[in-house]
């Protein structure tokens, strides 16, 4: 019976973590049916099965990281082959691993990708087990003996029980039948929340992220960490240290930041400005009929200001190609927005943001952040960025010295907007009044972005935030 090996999902990665199983031992599945969710260093990917038949063993428990090529699930022959009534019994050649890089191997249409393709939300619904009797006995015989072993015993000698311990993995978690999206399951696992203790309030009775967070905040409700979780994240008093493996997004981000910090000479400049008029513009846009169904925030105005300022300083949107000894100027802007997620910091980007209207940019930013928070950001959404904004103001932080993302030349840090005393000059007279004040910090690659260019870009962005009407000058 075939073993499905963890495939290379096309990102050049060597390992992945099994986040959640969508099937259990005894389920009968079809080709291309989603069997589990895996987490790579970049995203969570749905993994479809290249085989049809009965699941006889889950070879890797949830939460374990395995290398590409490791068997993760064992799938028996399909029902027709098991009954012996069909002449289409798989040959050894037919049981060979399917080349997942070939879309035709999935049985789908032309251009379909087997791994990570979009598919309608099926939910964690399980297929019913076959009735006991001859089929159950046949299943037992399949699970108990691999090809090449001694002949199977008589069927009447086989008790109707689950497959032998040698072919099984630890029991599925108690929340396996609870409706919840993979990111929600991952969040519940990290916070030690038992999903089975929660009554789903989301679509189709699914458990929502808000329910998990509320249960985690409660000292009693929903808290049922397993023995394995307690071992990896001790909660008992007296524990002085806790070790947590570095993997996934955190590992990728750490390596990228190290590479950037030690290859590009960073320079950071700051400017503190009066953003009162920007805040007034945000309030007017919120009441405008064209923006009533989209999110309008100071970040939207800042993003538009950066796109306009890049026109005057295109070096900000270029990058230093060390291998080719060239500076690559990009005639488009893929605007990256750093987003904090339960999986770590990710930086998806809005493709061709410079060609968008303000309304289109608002929609793109809203969709981008919502997808990131749900843990559904795909690798393609995080590649090809040309300029990044990191909004630390949402955490109440005034400013910072951000590190440039690889393949880019600059990153802008957006601090919190707070009411502070500010000197205002009116009719030649100075007076101190409370104003909305914020700080911007720009880090840039000093190999080809000198102080004059970096300062000009930062001053242009600040000027637009201080007086949004000045955007007409760009």
Considering only residues 245 and 397, tell me which one the structure prediction assigns the higher pLDDT: 397
Contact 73, 59 (CB under 8 A): yes
Mean pLDDT of 157-173: 48
- Residue 416: name the closest of 389, 442, 436 by CA: 436
The domain segmentation of the chain, as residue ranges, is 3-167, 182-232, 248-473
Burial zone of 118 (CB within 10 Å; 0-12 exposed, 13-18 middle, 19+ buried): exposed
Contact 98, 115 (CB under 8 A): no
> Which CATH number describes the domain made up of 3-167?
2.40.50.100
Mean pLDDT of 421-435: 93
Burial zone of 179 (CB within 10 Å; 0-12 exposed, 13-18 middle, 19+ buried): middle
Q: Where are the alpha helices (DSSP H) in 13-128?
A: 79-83
Q: What are phi and psi of 186, to 5 degrees?
A: -65, -40
- Mark whether 436 is an active-site residue: no
**Reported confidence tier of residue 457, pLDDT bands at 50, 70, 90:** very high
Residue 109 has pLDDT above 60, yes or no: no
- Residue 70: name the closest of 81, 61, 82, 80 by CA: 61
- Residue 346: name the closest of 109, 130, 94, 44 by CA: 44
Torsion over CA: 207, 213, 219, 225 (sign): positive
Active-site residue among 288, 331, 446, 448? 446
Q: How many residues does the structure list for the chain?
A: 474
Least confident of 16-25, 78-87, 308-317: 78-87
Q: DSSP letter at 387?
A: E
**Reported confidence tier of residue 449, pLDDT bands at 50, 70, 90:** very high
Mean pLDDT of 322-327: 91
DSSP helix, strand, coil percent of the chain (3-state; round to 5): 30, 20, 45
Burial zone of 188 (CB within 10 Å; 0-12 exposed, 13-18 middle, 19+ buried): buried
pLDDT in tens, 411-423: 999 999 999 999 9
CATH architecture of 248-473: 2-Layer Sandwich (3.30)
Per-residue model confidence (pLDDT) at position 416: 96
What is the rounded average pLDDT for all residues in the chain? 77
pLDDT in tens, 14-28: 788 888 899 999 999
**Reported confidence tier of residue 254, pLDDT bands at 50, 70, 90:** confident
């Amino acid at each position: 019976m075939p073993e499905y090996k963890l495939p290379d999902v096309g990102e050049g990665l060597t390992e992945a973590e099994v986040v959640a199983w969508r099937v259990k031992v005894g389920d009968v599945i079809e080709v291309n049916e989603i069997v589990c969710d895996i987490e790579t260093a970049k995203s969570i990917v749905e993994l479809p099965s290249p085989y049809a038949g009965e699941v006889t063993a889950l070879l890797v428990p949830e939460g374990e990281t395995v290398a590409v090529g490791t068997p993760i699930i064992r799938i028996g022959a399909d029902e027709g082959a098991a009954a012996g009534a069909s002449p289409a019994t798989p040959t050894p050649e037919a049981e060979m691993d399917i080349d997942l890089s070939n879309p035709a191997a999935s049985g789908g249409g032309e251009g379909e990708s087997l791994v990570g393709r979009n598919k309608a939300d099926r939910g964690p619904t399980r297929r019913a087990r076959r009735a006991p009797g001859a089929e159950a006995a046949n299943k037992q015989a399949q699970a108990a003996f691999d090809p090449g072993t001694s002949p199977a015993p008589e069927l009447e000698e086989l008790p109707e029980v689950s497959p032998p311990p040698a072919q099984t993995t630890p029991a599925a978690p108690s929340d396996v039948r609870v409706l919840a999206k993979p990111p929600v399951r991952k969040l519940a696992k990290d916070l030690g929340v038992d999903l089975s203790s929660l009554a789903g309030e989301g679509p189709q009775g699914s458990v929502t992220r808000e329910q998990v967070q509320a249960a985690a905040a409660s000292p009693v409700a929903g808290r049922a960490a397993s023995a394995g979780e307690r071992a990896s994240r001790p909660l008992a008093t007296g524990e002085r240290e806790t070790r947590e493996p570095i993997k996934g997004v955190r590992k990728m981000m750490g390596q990228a930041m190290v590479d950037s910090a030690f290859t590009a000479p960073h320079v950071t400049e700051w400017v503190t400005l009066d953003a009162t008029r920007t805040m007034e513009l945000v309030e007017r846009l919120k009441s405008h009929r064209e923006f009533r169904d989209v999110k309008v925030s100071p970040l939207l105005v800042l993003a538009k200001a950066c796109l306009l300022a890049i026109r005057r300083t295109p070096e900000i949107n270029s990058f230093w190609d060390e291998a080719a000894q060239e500076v690559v100027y990009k005639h488009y802007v893929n605007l990256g927005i750093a987003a904090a997620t339960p999986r770590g910091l990710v930086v998806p980007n809005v493709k061709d943001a410079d060609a968008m209207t303000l309304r289109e940019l608002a929609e793109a930013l809203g969709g981008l952040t919502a997808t990131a928070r749900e843990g559904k950001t795909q690798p393609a959404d995080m590649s090809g960025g040309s300029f990044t904004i990191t909004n630390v103001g949402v955490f109440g932080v005034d400013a910072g010295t951000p590190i440039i993302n690889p393949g880019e030349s600059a990153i802008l840090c957006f601090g919190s907007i707070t009411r502070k005393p500010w000197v205002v000059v009116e009719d030649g007279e100075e007076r101190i009044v409370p104003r909305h004040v914020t700080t911007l910090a720009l880090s840039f690659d000093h190999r080809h972005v000198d102080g004059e260019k970096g300062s000009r870009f930062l001053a242009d962005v600040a000027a637009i935030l201080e007086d949004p009407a000045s955007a007409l000058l760009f």
